[in-house]
C-alpha cells in the first residue's frame, strides 16, 4: 500500500528543487557567493581573472527546497583553447537551469565585460536575476542610477543587491530563488554540499594557493592533478599532486628558492584541505612542465577539461 497516496491532500507537503547558474564576467564574486550560501569553501577564490575553470556544483538544502548552484567559468573573450572550453561550459549551463544569476561588481561600475555577458544572456529564454554584488563598497545613493543603467540594457526578472563577502541581503536572494524552483525531487542528501569528488576540490584548493602566491605570468599557466589520495593506516590522508606549468622558467618560480614557495603552497593548502576532509593530511607536491598545455586538446582532456562537462 502506498501510504503517501492515502494521506489527505491537505496534509501533503510539496518539495521544490531546481538548478541555478551563476554567471558574470571574471572576478565579480561568483565563487564567494556560492561558498557563502553553502557554508563551506568548495569553489576557490582569487583576485585574478579566470580563477574558476570548471562548472562547480554547490547544493543548498532546506526543509522544503533544494537549490543546486552551478558556478561557471567567467564568460570572457577567449585567448586559448582553454578559454574556448571555459566559455562553452558557461554557455551550456544557461540551458540547463531554472534561473540565471547575473552577478556584477557595483564597485567597478557597468563595463564592456558586463555588456558582453548580457549579449549572450539575450540569446536564452531562462529568467535572469541581476545580482549587484559588493554593495558594501559603494554609497547607497549610488545604487539607483546603477540599477537604471542595467535595466535599460536588459529586461531582468528581478534585481537583488548583495554583499557576497559579508552576507548582506543573501537571505533575501535565497528567498527570491525559492519562488522560481518548481516542485521536484531531492537530488542530493541533506548533508551533501557538492557533487564533485573530493579529489577535484583538493586540486582546486591547491591551485588557489598558487594563485595567491605567484605573480601575473603564472596563474593562467597552472593546472593541478591529484595522482594519489588515500587514507593511511594511521588515519592520515596521503595526497600526491602534480602542478603543471607551461615553461621551465615557470617551474622554477613555483618551486621557489630552495623549495620555499612550494612548501608554502603545501602548508596553506593543507589547512583548507584538512578543514574540508576533517582529517590530518600529508601532501607531496611535484612540479612538471607541459609546454603550451592550454592549447593542446589531448592534454586538456587528460586534465579533465571537456566541452561536454
Instruction: Check the annotation: does 18 bind a ligand.
Output: no
- Does residue 171 fall inside a structural domain? yes
Predicted model pTM: 0.63
Q: Tell me: the pLDDT tens digits for 205-237?
A: 898 888 888 865 565 678 888 889 898 999 899
Instruction: Check the annotation: does 87 bind a ligand.
Output: no
Give pLDDT, residue 15: 94
- Does residue 276 fall inside a structural domain? yes
Instruction: Check the annotation: does 280 bind a ligand.
Output: no
Q: Tell me: the pLDDT tens digits for 266-295?
A: 999 999 888 878 889 999 999 999 887 777
Helix (H) or strand (E) holding 86: helix 81-93
- Does residue 8 fall inside a structural domain? no
Instruction: Check the annotation: does 259 bind a ligand.
Output: no
Instruction: Check the annotation: does 222 bind a ligand.
Output: no
Residues 167 and 30 in one domain: yes
pLDDT beyond 90 at 137: yes
Q: Dump the DSSP string for 223-281.
A: EEEEEEEEE-TTSPEEEEEEEEESSHHHHHHHH-GGGHHHHHHHHHHHHHHHHHHTS-E
Instruction: Check the annotation: does 278 bind a ligand.
Output: no
Instruction: Check the annotation: does 75 bind a ligand.
Output: yes
Residues 90 and 125 in one domain: yes
Residues 137 and 265 in one domain: no
CATH number at residue 297: 3.30.300.20
Residues 205 and 267 in one domain: yes
Written as nine digits, the cell of 267 is 602548508
Share of the chain above pLDDT 70, in %: 77
Residue 215: give the domain boundaries: 198-303
- Does residue 45 fall inside a structural domain? yes
Calculate the average pLDDT of the chain.
81
pLDDT beyond 50 at 52: no
- Does residue 245 fall inside a structural domain? yes
CA–CA gap between residue 39 and residue 244 (Å, rounded): 30
Instruction: Check the annotation: does 191 bind a ligand.
Output: no
Neighbours of 132 (CB within 10 A): 22
Out of 131, 148, 180, a domain closes at 180
Instruction: Check the annotation: does 27 bind a ligand.
Output: yes
Instruction: Check the annotation: does 25 bind a ligand.
Output: yes
Q: Which of 72-76, 199-203, 245-249 has the highest mean pLDDT?
A: 245-249
Distance between first and last Cα of the chain: 41
Residues 141 and 239 in one domain: no
Are the C-beta atoms of 153 and 115 separated by less than 8 Å? yes
- Does residue 287 fall inside a structural domain? yes
Residues 114 and 245 in one domain: no
Residues 142 and 170 in one domain: yes
Residues 104 and 37 in one domain: yes
Q: Tell me: the pLDDT tens digits for 149-188?
A: 999 999 999 999 999 999 999 999 999 999 999 999 998 8
Residues 69 and 206 in one domain: no
Work out how many domains the chain is built from and give that number.
2
- Does residue 186 fall inside a structural domain? no
Instruction: Check the annotation: does 148 bind a ligand.
Output: no
At what angle are helices 170-178 and 30-38 packed, to 10 degrees? Answer: 80
Residues 172 and 256 in one domain: no
Out of 149, 180, 211, a domain closes at 180
- Does residue 309 fall inside a structural domain? no
Instruction: Check the annotation: does 263 bind a ligand.
Output: no
Residues 159 and 68 in one domain: yes
Instruction: Check the annotation: does 29 bind a ligand.
Output: yes
Q: Tell me: the pLDDT tens digits for 81-133?
A: 555 655 666 667 787 799 999 999 999 989 888 998 898 888 888 999 999 99
Out of 121, 150, 180, a domain closes at 180
CATH number at residue 33: 3.40.50.300
Residues 127 and 243 in one domain: no
Amino acid at each position: 500500500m502506498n501510504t503517501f497516496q492515502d494521506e489527505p491532500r491537505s496534509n501533503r507537503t510539496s518539495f521544490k528543487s531546481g538548478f541555478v547558474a551563476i554567471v558574470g564576467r571574471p572576478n565579480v564574486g561568483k565563487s564567494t557567493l556560492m561558498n557563502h550560501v553553502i557554508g563551506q569553501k568548495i569553489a576557490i577564490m582569487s583576485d585574478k581573472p579566470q580563477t574558476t575553470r570548471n562548472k562547480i556544483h554547490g547544493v543548498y538544502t532546506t526543509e522544503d527546497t533544494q537549490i543546486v548552484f552551478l558556478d561557471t567559468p567567467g564568460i570572457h573573450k577567449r585567448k586559448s583553447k582553454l578559454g574556448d572550453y571555459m566559455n562553452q561550459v558557461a554557455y551550456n549551463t544557461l540551458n540547463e537551469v531554472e534561473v540565471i544569476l547575473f552577478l556584477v561588481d557595483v564597485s567597478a561600475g557597468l563595463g564592456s565585460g558586463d555588456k558582453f555577458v548580457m549579449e549572450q544572456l539575450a540569446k536564452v529564454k531562462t529568467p535572469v536575476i541581476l545580482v549587484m554584488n559588493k554593495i558594501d563598497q559603494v554609497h547607497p545613493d549610488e545604487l539607483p542610477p546603477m540599477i537604471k543603467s542595467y535595466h535599460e540594457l536588459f529586461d531582468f526578472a528581478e534585481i537583488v543587491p548583495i554583499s557576497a563577502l559579508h552576507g548582506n541581503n543573501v537571505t533575501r536572494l535565497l528567498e527570491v530563488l525559492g519562488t522560481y524552483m518548481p516542485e521536484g525531487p531531492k537530488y542530493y542528501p541533506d548533508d551533501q554540499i557538492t557533487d564533485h569528488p573530493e579529489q577535484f576540490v583538493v586540486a582546486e584548493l591547491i591551485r588557489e594557493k598558487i594563485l595567491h602566491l605567484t605573480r601575473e605570468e603564472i596563474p593562467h599557466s597552472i593546472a593541478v592533478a591529484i595522482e594519489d589520495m588515500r587514507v593511511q593506516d594511521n588515519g592520515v590522508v596521503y595526497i600526491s599532486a602534480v602542478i603543471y606549468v607551461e615553461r621551465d622558467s615557470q617551474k622554477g618560480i613555483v618551486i621557489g628558492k630552495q623549495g620555499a614557495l612550494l612548501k608554502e603552497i603545501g602548508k596553506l593548502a593543507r589547512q583548507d584541505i584538512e578543514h574540508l576532509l576533517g582529517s590530518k593530511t600529508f601532501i607531496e607536491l611535484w612540479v612538471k612542465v607541459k609546454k603550451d598545455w592550454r592549447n593542446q586538446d589531448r592534454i586538456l582532456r587528460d586534465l579533465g577539461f571537456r566541452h561536454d562537462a
